[in-house]
Structure 1
Amino acid sequence: MTVAIRTIEPTQARAGDTWRWQRALPDSPAPTWTLSYTLFAASGIVSFQSTAAGTEHCIHLTPEITAGYAAGRYDWVAHVSDGTDRYQVGAGVIQILPDLNAAASYDGRSHARKVLDAIDALIERRSTAGDVDLVSVASGDKNIARSLPELLKLRDRYAAMVAQEERAAAVARGEALGAFGGQLVQVRFRA
């Protein structure tokens, strides 16, 4: 299978998958210069460097390497060095997604979706102790699990958060959303 090689850093990548991209840096070409990345997160620091692909810098991390990366949000910084000088050439954020093949269990729901599901379970009286704990922790009020008006108010807030997440995911997938059943309506005004 032929995969197109990216020319910019990814904004998300999955642990356990191959990561590959290539950067052209005319002011600091390979092999004279080496491109290095450092990723910073609460779970730790990840570092790797490029290999030369002509005058371009090639990043190629195998699944064996990325499998050891903890899922989470990382800030990254990129530097070039010729052994004497070092310059920053980029910075950003990458979301490392979990390796689903290695996960014993995985719940891909966002925090807002988990709380909304827990509230629905409480309202429908099919909740578990975990649902009560999740709603109580989210609200900071242990009595909220017993008050239906408060649960309904909290449900509305979390339903709005989940709807916003779903809209953002649809836009990220390239789906156009509009106010009329998901259809995009274009309007042109003339002067």
Structure 2
Amino acid sequence: MEPTKLHAGDSVTWAREARAYPSADGWALSFSLRGPGSLDVVSTDGEPYQFRMTSSQTRTLPPGAYHWACYAVREDDRQTLGSGRLEVLVDLQQAETFDGRSHARRMLDLIEAALEKRIPKDQQSYEIDGMKLDRIPVERLEALRTRYRREVAAESRRGKSPFGRFTRVRM
């Protein structure tokens, strides 16, 4: 089964069944990943087909949301076997700086700063919902704050984090 998340710089392996497209008949499988970056991987022969993305391959992928597709290919024939989404997470060993807050948390923090009239000068050009932050009426900021508070609360309930889910261990 194809991965749904990976950290840039990690190696990833997985297998995919494709009994209708046996390698003995000349079929091969390929995996294409497109988003802020791109990567194409060809499987090794055999059933199930094996895929491997190396550390050096994933290291070059910018963090973000990607779409993938898996194809069975033989000469001039191609069949799409599946598609989906994959999230590439930041490689902390390569990142000089990192803001681990979600979009909703960053927006909530900016809105609250605007309501408290303490937005840093380098952030006065931010836009939210197509409006410049320093020109949004207070009533609209309060409505946006309510919306983003809900999003942040929903993320907290889901355990959303830029690193994926955490499992807490008590010792």
- TM-score interval, smaller chain: 0.7 to 0.9
1:44-123 to 2 correspondences below 5 Å: 44-52=37-45, 54-123=46-115
Q: Does 1:168 align with 2:162?
A: no
Q: Aligned AA for 2:27? A: W
TM, length-normalised to structure 2? 0.79
Match of 2:143 among 153, 178, 182: 153
Q: Over aligned residue pairs, what C-alpha RMSD do you find?
A: 2.6
Moved more, 108-117 or 22-31: 22-31
Indicate the structure (1 or 2) with the bigger Cα radius of gyration: 1
Shift of the 130–150 alpha-carbon distance from structure 1 to 2, 3 Å rule, reads farther
Task: Name the TM-score, length of structure 1 as normaliser.
Answer: 0.71
- Gap runs ≥5 in structure 2: none
Contiguous gaps of at least 5 residues in structure 1: 1-7, 176-191
Q: Which secondary structure does the structure 1 equivalent of 2:32 belong to?
A: strand
Tell me the residue number matched to 1:33. Answer: 27
Instruction: Provide runs of 4+ in structure 1 moved above 6 Å.
Output: none
Whether the aligned pair in 2 keeps the contact of 1:122 and 1:131 (CA below 8 Å) is no
Give the drift of 1:165.
2.5
Q: Secondary structure at the match of 1:104?
A: coil
Counterpart contact for 2:39–2:57, Cα < 8 Å: no
Point out which structure has higher relative CO (alpha carbons under 8 A, 6+ apart): 2
